[in-house]
Amino acid sequence: MKTRRAFAFADGHTEAHKWKMTGRKKGYGFAIVDPGDRLDWLWMRERTSAPIGGVMPEPL
């Protein structure tokens, strides 16, 4: 189940992303254990600027 999602940014541009994770995303508070989920998370981290708490995975 690989789906695409579009992200809209404050500067007016949009980007489409095809999820790398197989299966269903779980949301806040769950550990990132799927390698595809890690890639998706890093993709979002590179494109957003909001500060978050918690431990971030190291870039590859």
Q: What is the pLDDT of residues 6-15, one digit of tens each?
A: 888 888 999 9
Regarding predicted confidence, which is higher, 12 or 27?
12
Confidence of residue 57 (pLDDT cuts 50, 70, 90): low
pTM: 0.63
Which pLDDT score is estimated for 43?
87
Are 48 and 33 in contact, with CB atoms under 8 Å apart? no
Give percent of the chain with pLDDT exceeding 90.
Answer: 3
CA-closest candidate to residue 11, choices 41, 44, 45, 47: 47
Q: Per-residue pLDDT averaged across 25-39, rounded?
A: 80
Q: Per-residue pLDDT averaged across 21-33, rounded?
A: 76
